[in-house]
Amino acid sequence: MFLTDDGIRLNLKLDRPEQPAGGKCPLAILIHGFTGHMEERHIVALARAFNEAGCASLRVDMYGHGGSDGEFGKHTLYKWLNNALTVIDYARGLDFVTDLYLSGHSQGGLTAMLAAAMKHDVISGLIPLSPAWMIPGQARQGIILGQRFDPDHIPDVLPPWRYTGLEGNYIRVAQTIHVEEAISRYHGPVLIVHGEQDADVPVSYAVKAAELYHDAQLVLIPGDTHCYDHHLDQVTEAVKVWMMERPRASGS
């Protein structure tokens, strides 16, 4: 299924829980990370976890990723944020949807945090998974993907560090984003899940975000990595349990 966001086709996949035909249910939007896509093992498992909790899942390939339009090198957090706003508005209009939840992994988790701040009145719960919310602060300090650069002299195209072709505009955009401000604008319930051995996003950021949010629960997974190579079942279980604890809108 495709949705068009200002001329960019976004690849979406909707999975509804097993339930009587015509039944209403909540829906969780699920956003992959930097260089990721909707068919990654952990993203598919999380979509299924939402379904098992009686919640539809809507996986999205973001600009320049997976089956969506756009070039990877030209993606920025602003483009991802616009994609997220478009997908949220689409999901709100689906007739079976009661409440809307927003989830994402890593850079998708950061995107979910920023979009939840903008759409705080329509997002019933936020589930950032190993959210890479250090990206903006590190971009200002001159660190990206573990590499150092001069934050005041950004090249048009970054050197081929871990990935080739990423344009400097990615960093210029990230430098403008202030995540603490976004965190303070979202007052709904939050579940943060993070592997304690994450080598890409330090677990300290999950701890800090859980402190800053008004109503957050933090689940740390001992021994696990950025993409949950060892204990994905614990991640999906945490999401499932938290979702089943949510109050359901009447009529569902």
CB of 24 or CB of 75, closer to ligand FER: 75
Which segment (130-138, 180-188, 214-222, 233-241) binds ligand FER by CB under 6 A? 130-138
203-222 residues in contact with ligand FER (CB under 6 A) are none
What residue type is 61 in one-letter code?
D
Q: CA 184 to CA 24: how far, in whole Å?
A: 31
133-152 residues in contact with ligand FER (CB under 6 A) are 135, 138, 144-145
Asked whether the beta carbons of 183 and 117 are under 8 A apart, the reply is: yes
CB of 30 or CB of 56, closer to ligand FER: 30
DSSP string, 18-80: S-STT--EEEEEEE--TT--TTSHHHHHHHHHHHHTT-EEEEE--TTSTTSSS-GGG--HHHH
| Least distance from ligand FER to the Cβ atom of residue 78, Å | 14
Q: Tell me the CA end-to-end span of the chain in Å, nearest whole number.
A: 25
Longest alpha-carbon distance in the chain: 58
Among 107, 111, 175, 236, binds ligand FER (CB under 6 A): 107
User: For residue 81, what is the enclosing H or E element?
Assistant: helix 77-92
Instruction: Tell me whether strands 147-148 and 97-105 are parallel, antiparallel or unpaired.
Output: unpaired
Under rule CB under 6 A, residue 157 binds ligand FER: no
CB of 187 or CB of 230, closer to ligand FER: 230
Cβ-closest position to ligand FER: 33
CB of 107 or CB of 234, closer to ligand FER: 107
Among 8, 31, 33, 62, binds ligand FER (CB under 6 A): 33
| Least distance from ligand FER to the Cβ atom of residue 35, Å | 7
CB of 35 or CB of 217, closer to ligand FER: 35
Site size with ligand FER, rule: CB under 6 A: 11
Neighbours of 223 (CB within 10 A): 11
Alpha carbon 139 to its chain centroid, in Å, reads: 19
What residues make contact with ligand FER under the rule CB under 6 A? Answer: 33-34, 106-107, 132, 135, 138, 144-145, 200-201
